[in-house]
Amino acid sequence: MKISIIGAGSWGTALCALLGHKGMPVTLWLRRNDLLQKIRQMRENKEYLPGVLLPENVVLTNNLADAVRGRELLVLAVPSHAVETVCGMISRHINDGAIIVNVAKGLEEKTFRRLSQVIGDKITNGCEIAVLSGPNHAEEVGRLIPTASVVASEKEEAAKIVQDLFMSNYFRVYTNPDITGVELGGALKNVIAIAAGLCVGLGYGDNTMAAIITRGLAEMTRLGVAMGARSRTFSGLTGVGDLFVTCTSSHSRNRYVGLMLGKGKNLQEITSSMKMVAEGIKATRAAHQLSLQYRVNMPITTEVYNILFQGIDPRVASKNLMGREKTVEMEDLAFD
């Protein structure tokens, strides 16, 4: 297939390395010419994914039209807040019937839409939309360390094409028809990862982390089901899998944000020191508003929102969580 990856951050670069090592010709679009020249010379994106060499069959360009025209499959690897703008830029160049694979994990900040909905509103020429998600830190995928992922689409054929494209001895891909659940799992786990980082920054222990992950999964699932997702999707790679790795890994930017907040840093100084985007910050605002809109109880998300945007002290937020009214663990397993 004729394939382009739009966006040369860590994830876009890692996916280029993944496909390149499979022997596939792939084009990588970069916004910045200075970065393009550095990667072309060194075959390495030292700014976003140091230590990973790109095979020679990866072609670099900063001409967006050239990267899009004639392609049968496009991978959107730009931050969630840039998806709408980039789709507007490529819509007039994209082939009818092309497959668009979104790999960003977030929600549209102003409308709270899922990113596949944003893409579908901007690109209307019969393209199929798929979402790739899972426990996939770029730092490991680019080095061909084995992992698994899930691809979701409303069309089975599109999901299977993407599955075949990315499947390898070190990257196993499953399909799932629940695109709503897969997208929400990828976005909402970043909010819980900030809470997990806060636990570490505050000096709490393994018990606290386990409780945050477990109860975080419960509220992710509640909102997902309210928005039309299937609950079982959150037991899979985009739910339990991605949540676990993002809450516990040193590679996690969202966990890092929480860690620094727990240590007393403010949000502005944390984000200004980061080279890459922590999607969970914007996702927290969206998730909080969605919880109000759908009347879903999401106490961890609420307290992360209060810390990020209302200036609540993390230790006060912790007391708020622990002091809530007692309740059952699972509504369907309550005593009669």
The catalytic residues are: 189
Q: What is the dihedral of CA 15, 18, 21, 23, to 10 degrees?
A: -70
Which SS3 state, helix, strand or coil, does residue 176 take? strand
CA atoms within 13 Å, Cβ hemisphere of 303:
27
Distance of alpha carbon 56 from alpha carbon 115, whole angstroms: 32
DSSP string, 26-87: EEEE-S-HHHHHHHHHHSB-TTTSTT-BPPTTEEEE--HHHHHTT-SEEEE-S-GGGHHHHH
Among residues 265, 306, 315, the alpha carbon closest in space to that of 288 is found at 306
| Residue 292 in tokens | 């109000």
Helices (H), 133-241: 138-141, 156-166, 179-201, 206-226
What is the token pair recorded at 74?
């496009």
